[in-house]
Amino acid sequence: MIEKNIANAVKQLLEDSPERKFRESVDMAINLKNLDMSQPKYRVDEMIVLPKGLGKSRKIAVFAKGDVGLQAKNAGADFVLTEEDIEELGADKSKARTLANNCDSFIAEVQYMALIGKSLGAILGPRGKMPIPLTADKNVVDMINTTKNSIRVRSKDKLTFHVAVGSREMSLDDLTENIDTVMSRLERSLDKGKQNLKSVYVTTTMGNSVRLV
């Protein structure tokens, strides 16, 4: 995908889509072909750092305690949860679903991963929100800052799926760079690269769509 073509498509999209009275996201609608999606090896599941972010704040929850929990709180984590919180959420599915729906991403110290899988896996897993493991070689502050600008591109077992790549308030150049980043990563992740792309559209929440591929 040539960046100039992306810029032209985004420019056309923004010009053709009437402005709304609420914040609209800019999304990519991706349609794959010639892949057996019943085979997990062909499914797309990528964490991608958008170079220009999403143009909006994202809520991050961190499962940690002690100094790591304090660092996470000071770094802007919206929720810092302990082992007791995990057990409480596991016993209260309604509360767990509310947390899962309200948070965009989760990070967890590795010692909590098994308990989270047992207590919350059925809720977080289908939403594509299982925590990113915080291993000993990683810094929670860096992970929070990176996660705030990251998206998960996940097809599950479908040939068609959507992913947010920014907001309408962002500049044309910033949206173009984000989309180009996603396209490049997507092509590398597919079994036969561009040949597995049937079509890709860029769209706003309530606006028109313009074809990229």
Find the CATH number of the domain harbouring 195.
3.30.190.20
**Weakest mean pLDDT among 33-37, 88-92, 204-208:** 204-208
Number of domains in the chain: 2
**Among 113, 147, 181, which residue terminates a domain?**
147
Q: Each residue of 118-154: pLDDT tens digit?
A: 999 999 999 989 999 999 999 999 999 999 999 999 9
In a shared domain, residues 46 and 117: no
In the listed set 147, 162, 178, which residue is the last one of a domain according to the structure?
147
Q: What is the pLDDT of residue 27?
A: 96
Confidence of residue 23 (pLDDT cuts 50, 70, 90): confident
Is a pLDDT exceeding 90 seen at residue 16? Answer: no
Q: Identify the CA nearest to 205 among candidates 56, 78, 31, 105.
A: 56
pLDDT for 3 beyond 90: no
Task: Say yes or no: 171 and 141 in one domain.
Answer: no
Average pLDDT over the chain reads 93
- Percent above pLDDT 90 for the chain: 85
- Same structural domain, 123 and 157: no
Q: Encode pLDDT of 116-127 as tens digits.
A: 999 999 999 999
Residue pLDDT, tens place only, 38-57? 999 999 999 999 999 998 88
Residue holding tokens 């402005």?
19
Please give the Cα distance from 60 to 27 (Å, whole number). 21
Cα–Cα distance between 15 and 9 in angstroms, integer?
10
Residue 64 shares a structural domain with residue 133: yes
- Decide: 44 and 153 in contact? Cβ < 8 Å: yes
Considering the domain architecture, whether residues 27 and 65 belong to the same structural domain is answered as: no
Same domain? 141 vs 156: no
Residues 154 and 134 reside in one and the same domain: no
Q: Is the predicted pLDDT of residue 14 greater than 90, yes or no?
A: no
Residues 49 and 81 in one domain: no
Q: How far apart are CA 169 and CA 204, in angstroms?
A: 11
Question: How much is the average pLDDT of 149-172?
Answer: 94
Q: Which domain holds residue 108?
A: 60-147
Predicted structure pTM score:
0.82
- Evaluated on CA atoms 205, 206, 210, 213, the torsion sign reads positive
Amino acid 2: pLDDT: 58
Which pLDDT belongs to residue 78?
96
Q: Quick one: average pLDDT of 172-195?
A: 96
Residues 129 and 92 in one domain: yes
DSSP-derived secondary structure letter, 97: H
Question: Rounded to the nearest 5 degrees, what angle is found at the Cα of 59, between the Cα atoms of 55 and 60?
Answer: 120
Domain identity same for 105 and 125: yes
